[in-house]
Chain A
Amino acid sequence: MVEKTVDYLIEAKGISKIFGGTRVLDHVSITLRPGEIHSLCGENGAGKSTLIKVLSGAYKPEEGVVAIGGKEYPHLTPLIAKKKGIEVIHQEIILVPQLTVAENIYTDVPYRTAGFFSMKKTCEAAKKLMDEIGIQLDPYETVERLSTADQQFVKILKALAPNPKVLIMDEPTAMFNMKDTDMVLDLVKNISKKGIGIIYISHHLKEVAKIADTVSVLRDGKLISTYHARDGAVDMDQVTCDMVGRPVDMFYKREKSNTGDVLFEVKGLQLKESDTPVDLYLKKGEILGLTGMVGSGRTEIIRAIYGLDQRFAGEIRKDGQTLQIHNPHDSIQNGIGYVSEDRQKSGLVLPLSVLSNLTFLKLPLKKGLISTKQEMDISEDMIKKLDIKTPSMFKETGMLSGGNQQKVIIGKWLHKGFDILILDEPTKGIDVNAKFEIYKLLHDLTKQGKSLLVVSSDMPEVISLCDRVMVVRDGKIAGEFTGGEITEENVIKSALEVK
C-alpha cells in the first residue's frame, strides 16, 4: 500500500537544528499515524528532546519543516501546535499543587456558570475523562495530597483534556514503580486505541518493546534506524546497539571481587515500634544491593542507618564495635559515606565549582587556613582519576552532565575517605555509557577493600553490579540472593510477593 502524506498526523521532514555551530538534529524525518505508538530512543543528548521541541513548535528548525495533518507549517509556534491538537507531557511536574485535580486538568477554565468558574461542572468533566480511559482519582482532591504516581496520571489527563490528536510523552514512567508502570503502559495503549498518535520517549527499552508500534533510534542528532513491530518483534539488543553506536551487552559484566570478613552489621533495626526488625551485614569489598518496589522502605532503611532519621531500635556495628550514630556527622566520623538519590537537590552544591564540591568534606589546611594550591592538586588528581569531564575544575557543577556530576559526588567521598559507602540509585537518569563508567568505578572501589551498599530499582544494575542482593518489601527483608541466584525472576517474585 502506498502511504499518502495526508495519512500522517504529524511528520518531521528533514529537520535540522543547530545550536552555536553544533548540529543537534541532522536531517531527521519521522512520521506518526493515528493510533500509532512511535517510540523515540537514544542516549541523553541524542536529540530526542530537541526533536520534540521542534515538533511542538518551541524551536524553529534551521532546515526542514513540520507537517501537521498533511499541511506544512514553516512557522510553527507552540500555540499553533496546541491548536492543531499536539500535546506534550513533559517530565517536570507542571501542576499547581494547591489546586484540585479537576482544576489542574482544566487550567483554561472551560466549565463555567454565568461566566464564573464552576467547580461542580469542572469536576464532572474530569470524572468523565477519567472514566473514559480508566483512571480512578478523586477530582476534588488537591494535587499536593496525591502520590507522585497519581500526579503523573493528572499530567496525562491534563494533556488529554483538549482532545489532542498527537500526544508526546517524555519519560512518562520515570516516576513509577514496576506495578504502576504496567498501568501506565496499559493507559498508553488505551489512549492510542482512541486514534490518538503517541510519540513515546523512554530509557526503559523493556517498556518500549511492550508497547511500541514503531521504534526510531536517534544518535548524535541523526536518525539511525526505524523499526516496525508489524515486521516482527523489534530486536531490543539491536536498538541498544544503534543507540550506543557499538555493540553492547545490556548488562554490565564484572568479575566478582573477593569479599572479606563481615565489616558492617545492622541488627534489629526498627524505625517504629511496630516494624519488623531488619538485620543486614556487609562484607569487606562487597557490593550489597538493596532492591524492591518504590515505596517498599529501602530508602527509609538506609536513611536510618546513616543517621538521617530517628530509629526506634537497632544496633549498628563496624568491626565488631557498636557505633553511636545519631546524625550524618557521626556516620562520617565512623567511615560511612552517603550518596543520595537526587544529585541536584541533595548531592551537589550546584552554584559552587567542581573543586569546591570535591574538597569541602576535608579541606586541606595550612596554618589553619585553606590551601588553595593543595585544593587544586586534589581536584586535578580526582578529575584525572575518575575521568570527570569538565572544561575546568573551576566550572560550576550545575553545568556538568548527570554522569559527571555523580562522579564529582563519588570523588568527594573518595577524597574524604570511607570504608562503607551507601549509594541510593547511583545511576538514575544517567545514560548507558556513563552508567558503565560508574559501575567500573564502584567495582574498582571494592578492589580497594571498600564496601558498598547500593539501593537500586534498576534490575540490570542490581543483577550485574551486586555480589549479594536483599529484597525489601513493606519495610521487611523479603529475600536474599547471592551469586547465580540473583536473577530478575527471583528478585521480582520476592519484591512482589509472588509465590
Chain B
Amino acid sequence: MKEKTLRTRAKIGNEMIFLPVVIIALCVISGLINPRFFTIANFLTIFQQVAVLGILTSAMLMLLVMGAIDLSYGALIGLCSVILCNLISVQGVDPWLALLIMFGTALGAGALNGLIITKFKCEPLIVTIGTSYIYLGFAQVISQGTYQSIGGAFPFIGTGKLGLIPMPMIVLVIVLLLMFVFLRYTPFGRKLHIIGGNSEVAFLSGIPVKAYKLLAFVLGGGICGLAAFVLTSRIGSALPTNGSGYELNALAAAIIGGASFSGARGTVLGAFFGVLLLGIVNNALNILGVDAFYQTVVLGVIIVIAVIFSNIKSK
C-alpha cells in the first residue's frame, strides 16, 4: 500500500494532487457565477487559447528538467512569426519554403543558445536574455515596425477544426504526448534528468553532457518554432512582439506544475495542469467581466499563490 503510494507520487508528483483540486474549484466558482463558463464551446476556447503556451511550456519543461532555461523563446516566436509572414507576403516566397526557413531559424536560434552555453560555460539565464534581444532586434529589422500578413497561408493549423476540436488543441495534445514519452521513456530523456539532477555525476557516468545539452536546446528551439507557427497561423499576421511574455508564462506554468530551477524535477502532466490553470484563470476573468487591468493583477496573485502551495505540498 505504502509502496504503491510512493510509486504513484514518484510517478506523477505532489502537484498532481493539489493542482486539479484548485482547477476544479476555480471552474466551479466561475460556473456558479456565470453558467456560460460551463459550456463545451467555452472549454474548447480555453484549449485553443492555451495551445501556444502549452506547446512552448513543454520545451521550457524539458530545459528545466535538464537544469537549464531559455528566456529567448518569446523573442524567438516574434522572429519566427515575422520571418514567415515577411517571406510569404513581402518576398513572395512559396509558403512551404518560408515555413522551412522559419523552422531552420528556430532550430538555429536554439543551437546558438546551446552552443554559447556549452562552449563558454555560461549561465543559460543570462545568455538567453542576451540572445532574446538579438532575436527581437532582427525581427524589428525585418518587419520595419509594420504589421505583416501571412497572406492567407496555412489557415488550417491555427483556425481549423477537426470535427469540434480546434487544430491548435490537437497540435498541443500531440506535442505533450511526444514530450511525455520523450522525457519518461527514452534514454535521452532520462539522461536529461541525470544531467539536471547532478551534471558532475552525468559526466562521471560517461554521458556526453555538452552534446546532450546542445541537442536539447536545438529541440527546444524547434518546438518554439512550432509554437510560433500555430500562433501566426491563428492571428494571421506578425509583429516582432507577437511572442512577448510567452517565455515567462511558460516558465511559470512549468514551475507551478512541479518543475524546479535546480533540475531533474517536473512532469509533462504537471506542466499541462500549470498551463491549464493559467488559461482557466484568464478565461474566467474574461467571462466574469473583470476589468482588463485588474486581470493582470489577479493573474499575478494566482501564480504566486500556486507556486507557494505547490512548494508546501512538495515538502
Contacts and interface: CB of A to CB of B under 8 A. Distances in A.
Interface of A: 308, 327-333, 338, 340, 345-353, 356, 360-361, 363, 365, 368-370, 372, 391-392, 394-395
Given A392-B2, A392-B6, 10 more contacts: A330-B206, A331-B206, A351-B263, A353-B10, A356-B190, A360-B191, A361-B205, A363-B190, A392-B10, A394-B6
Interface in B140-185: 181, 184-185
Nearest 4 pairs of A and B residues by beta carbon: A349-B197, A329-B206, A394-B10, A369-B185
Given A327-B206, A328-B206, A391-B6, A347 B201 contact: yes
30 contacts: A328-B204, A329-B207, A329-B208, A332-B206, A345-B200, A346-B198, A346-B200, A346-B201, A349-B198, A350-B197, A350-B198, A351-B260, A351-B262, A351-B263, A352-B194, A356-B190, A360-B191, A360-B194, A361-B205, A361-B206, A363-B187, A365-B187, A370-B185, A370-B187, A372-B185, A392-B2, A392-B3, A392-B6, A394-B7, A395-B6
A372 B185 CA distance: 8
A352 B264 contact: yes
Q: Most chain-B CB neighbours within 10 Å: which of A351, A353, A365?
A: A351
A351 B264 contact: yes
A409 to B, nearest CB: 9
Given A360-B190, A363-B190, A369-B186, A352 B197 contact: yes
Contact of A332 (B191, B205, B260, B264): B205
Contacts of A327: 206
A262 to B, nearest CB: 25
Nearest to B7: A394
Interface residues of B, number: 31
B193 A352 contact: yes
Most buried by B among A333, A356, A372: A356
Contact of B204 (A346, A365, A395): A346
A368 B187 CA distance: 8
B199 to A, nearest CB: 10
Contacts of A348: 198, 201
B203 interface: yes
Given A328-B205, A392-B6, A349 B194 contact: yes
Interface string B188-228: 00110110011011011111100000000000000000000
B234 interface: no
Interface in B239-273: 260, 262-265
A419 to B, nearest CB: 15
Contact of A349 (B181, B185, B201): B201
Contacts of B262: 351
A391 B2 contact: yes
Given A327-B206, A331-B206, A392-B3, A351 B185 contact: no
Contacts of A345: 198, 200
Contacts of A363: 187, 190
Nearest to A327: B206
Contacts of A308: 204
A328 B203 contact: yes
Contacts of B7: 392, 394
Contact of B193 (A333, A340, A356, A391): A356
A389 B203 CA distance: 27
B234 to A, nearest CB: 33
Question: Which residue, B3, B187, B260, has most C-beta atoms of chain A within 10 A?
Answer: B187
Contacts of A328: 203-206
Nearest to B202: A349
A187 to B, nearest CB: 34
A349 B206 CA distance: 14
Contacts of A329: 206-208
A330 B3 CA distance: 38
A338 B191 CA distance: 18
A34 to B, nearest CB: 43
Contacts of B204: 308, 328, 338, 340, 346
A38 to B, nearest CB: 37
A29 B309 CA distance: 42
B135 to A, nearest CB: 32
B200 A369 contact: no
B315 to A, nearest CB: 12
A328 B203 CA distance: 7
A360 B10 contact: no
Contacts of B206: 327-333, 361
Nearest to B3: A392
Nearest to A333: B206
A328 B185 CA distance: 25
Contacts of B260: 351
Contacts of A333: 206
A356 B193 CA distance: 9
A351 B190 contact: no
A381 to B, nearest CB: 16
A360 B265 CA distance: 16
A152 B262 CA distance: 29
Residue of B187, B205, B262, B264 with highest tally of chain A CB at under 10 A: B205
B204 to A, nearest CB: 5
Nearest to A360: B194
B183 to A, nearest CB: 11
Question: Which interface residue of A331, A368, A392 has the most chain B CB atoms within 10 A?
Answer: A392
A395 B6 CA distance: 7
Contacts of A356: 190, 193-194
Nearest to B193: A352
Interface string B1-43: 0110011011100000000000000000000000000000000
A394 B11 CA distance: 9
Contacts of B207: 329
A330 B207 CA distance: 11
A470 to B, nearest CB: 23
Contacts of A395: 6
A327 B203 CA distance: 9
A394 B4 CA distance: 10
Contact of A370 (B11, B184, B208, B263): B184
A372 B194 CA distance: 17
Interface in B258-295: 260, 262-265
A308 B203 CA distance: 9
Contacts of A332: 205-206
> Which of B6, B194, B201, B265 has the largest number of chain A CB atoms within 10 A?
B201
A408 to B, nearest CB: 12
B306 to A, nearest CB: 21
B190 A370 contact: yes
B263 to A, nearest CB: 7
A109 to B, nearest CB: 32
A90 B185 CA distance: 43
A391 B4 CA distance: 11
Nearest to A362: B187
Nearest to A375: B190
A327 B208 CA distance: 10
Contacts of A370: 184-187, 190
